[in-house]
Structure 1
């Protein structure tokens, strides 16, 4: 009996470690419902829920799991995956109950009621030039809630990390004893309307106005909803007057969302920052982080980073697609296998493609610098900046090689293009005017294609 208990304790600790290292979808799918059976002669027997799960763990995650087990036990233990039979059902159910009890004991009422995702923390947020300012502001808010950048408004397209940052702020402030609530504006709307219909508006007010931190995601969903905006304004105003921290996110600048003037005015009184799509370097960093538990060659990750992904969710999806395809055909992941697995992701004939002419014309319109000057070798400050912006956008949004960009812009050397791209990325970290200009160009591109 003792070896079994030892197996359980080792495996429980191993799962805790793996949960931090492996992306949530993979942990939930392959590891969450595994159960330790025994440890004998340095062989740890682990039961899985299906033959496919056992095969996946053996083929894809074995080395990662072995390292984790060794780190926990400080022993060289052989891990054997088996498919559980009916006699293990009781054992599996007991394990689930134990896990739930442990989770409940560790989680405070504040954490349970905050609606925070435990996987979204500052520790696993990948920093890049596209999100560096928003990340810095989020960290500052978590250090000095209600005193600086209040409210904080973060906007971006879907899947770029604004929700991740909001949850990260929440976790940090819960650790400081603050009462935190995260919700979408849609949830806020539903709760507000329900309180009116049931005559419980006082309960609604008490719930929200006793908070230390309010995190509201996707504020654009209350545009045109006058009654909801009325309730939101009074909630916002009450918390703001008390010096409580408010963080809001949306999909575009606040002045472009149809909000009441008084709400827009409150938002403009704080700090408003955007998150841009990740550049190639950041995409590569994200891919390395997301695939750290797998044996995927760097040339495959570099190939993926060059693809025109719109957001981080698409990056994660491509890795899962490659893994599934590799397993289905029974071949090791290679560059050829990876390229074939994702080829249909970028062959949609309906999808509107951004061509180089569109990008250049939009740069010209926003900067006021002619195409001739952009393609020329003029070195005055204004022409040089417009040229660098064009090179940056052709690389990032047009997904062109540095050589192709150089050829289009008057036969420039590819090294000149790379230098320009890096110069823009560096300047974007601190220059809000440049960020706003590039955002305006991208918005114009979006409506032009």
Structure 2
């Protein structure tokens, strides 16, 4: 695994620290004389998240590093930054400055790229249309509506498009329905910055997740329809993700008809071939090889969501690292997929009870209205973990005391942030 996220490593102090880590890896791999002779004076010049440029003190050093030591350098860079391109330049060769990224209104996950998305027969149209939108291919149909059950990669495609378009210098808005609603209401009530209405109409690419959460919200739908029209009239593009087809939602006729004028495509679960490719790719990303029998056993179990499949694969990887992967233990992970498929992606049994115990709170406090700090943290982490397991927002809301989808969405985002900042909050029995 990379030592630190590439997004932060482009800053000078982080780049310098990362370069020291790369040199440490090379020092272990290379003969001491080779290391001292050819890497002395080499230094990182730029890193834009995808390409690391290494400058050398002279052309001889550049040629030697490029022709003789490139495989070793590439391996060391991969240990720190992951799979990025390495460019080695000599003195006096200016590195190409990275393009100026366009602004993003909202929050995106830069790890959710098109390259990291697993193509399959059930998502090829969605993947192709979102790539075209991100690249602003002339004549690309817009808007694009991607719909289907939770956990199949709809959000991944939106975030990949946002990142790609921003890197090309385009202004992007990437929001889920709950965030859009909150910002819209704050502006209307005068509690926001006051410029959300204007800012979202000026973007080149407008992306909205969880369209189904706008059902029945007439004023918010009017606001989104107005933003959609404004963006498209300016020559921009729009894409939304939804759990249901727009015509099956309680939407304004004006909005539903606008959304239907582009491409509406449903994402389907992975077929066996795509499951196998996803399993093998995940194992490669973890730098581990799963036995062929384990890959086939995982691939043979239809998963209702990518999240559930990923959970089973991660468990297999963890067992393999411990040297404890066998058919019985793997079948436990596969059984969870089968149970979830039969029960509509129900959560792992006793998850809430284990979370309550882990946080030292009563189950009633976790699922109820308690404002205790530990209870609210446990509730947020529960929402995030249940969402990882593929449960719908409505289903999570029912488990957490009848909360609405907007509240659950906000809880899940907070829980994801807490888990990212403090991995120890995830109970061992669930990890």
| TM-score, normalised with respect to structure 1 | 0.54
Shift in CA distance, 19/175, structure 1 to aligned 2, threshold 3 Å:
closer
Stretch deviating more after TM superposition (204-213 or 186-195): 204-213
Q: Does 1:255 align with 2:247?
A: yes
1:174 to 166, 177, 195: 166
- Aligned residue for 2:127, secondary structure, equals helix
- Aligned residue for 2:310, secondary structure, equals helix
Shift in CA distance, 236/35, structure 1 to aligned 2, threshold 3 Å:
same
1:109: how far off?
6.5
Q: Give CA deviations for 1:324-350 in whole Å, capped at 9, x if unaligned.
A: 4556xx534244442244445535798
Q: Does 1:289 align with 2:289?
A: no
1:321 to 315, 340, 362: 315
Matched with 1:186 is 178
Q: Give CA deviations for 1:383-409 in whole Å, capped at 9, x if unaligned.
A: xxxxxxxxxxxxxxxxxxxxxxxxxxx
Q: Give CA deviations for 1:207-249 in whole Å, capped at 9, x if unaligned.
A: 1111111110111101011121121121112112222111111
Shift in CA distance, 149/41, structure 1 to aligned 2, threshold 3 Å:
closer
CA contact (8 A) 1:326 1:337 kept: no
Q: Does 1:298 align with 2:292?
A: yes
5 Å-filtered alignment, 1:338-353, equals: 338-347=330-339, 351=343
| CA distance in structure 2 between the partners assigned to 1:231 and 1:15 by the alignment | 43
| CA distance in structure 2 between the partners assigned to 1:342 and 1:203 by the alignment | 49
CA contact (8 A) 1:146 1:243 kept: no
1:117 to 85, 89, 109: 109
Q: Does 1:127 align with 2:127?
A: no
| CA distance in structure 1 between the partners assigned to 2:341 and 2:256 by the alignment | 39
Matched with 1:136 is 128
How many residue pairs end up in the alignment?
275
1:267: how far off?
0.7
| CA distance in structure 2 between the partners assigned to 1:331 and 1:316 by the alignment | 20
Larger radius of gyration: 1
Shift in CA distance, 313/349, structure 1 to aligned 2, threshold 3 Å:
closer
Q: Does 1:153 align with 2:145?
A: yes
5 Å-filtered alignment, 1:221-232, equals: 221-232=213-224
- C-alpha RMSD of the superposition: 3.7
| CA distance in structure 1 between the partners assigned to 2:341 and 2:145 by the alignment | 36
Q: Does 1:42 align with 2:36?
A: no
| CA distance in structure 2 between the partners assigned to 1:170 and 1:197 by the alignment | 29
CA contact (8 A) 2:308 2:337 kept: no
Q: Does 1:245 align with 2:237?
A: yes
Q: Give CA deviations for 1:128-179 in whole Å, capped at 9, x if unaligned.
A: 1111111121222233357421111111111111211122222222232110
1:108: how far off?
5.9
5 Å-filtered alignment, 1:6-85, equals: 15=3, 42=28, 71-73=71-73
Identify unmatched segments of 5+ residues in structure 1: 1-10, 21-31, 45-68, 80-104, 354-449
Shift in CA distance, 74/134, structure 1 to aligned 2, threshold 3 Å:
closer
Matched with 2:385 is none
1:315: how far off?
1.1
Matched with 1:203 is 195
Q: Does 1:279 align with 2:271?
A: yes
- Aligned residue for 2:149, secondary structure, equals coil
1:111: how far off?
5.3
| TM-score, normalised with respect to structure 2 | 0.56
CA contact (8 A) 1:120 1:168 kept: yes
Shift in CA distance, 345/278, structure 1 to aligned 2, threshold 3 Å:
closer
1:236 to 228, 231, 242: 228
| CA distance in structure 1 between the partners assigned to 2:280 and 2:341 by the alignment | 30
| CA distance in structure 1 between the partners assigned to 2:6 and 2:296 by the alignment | 26
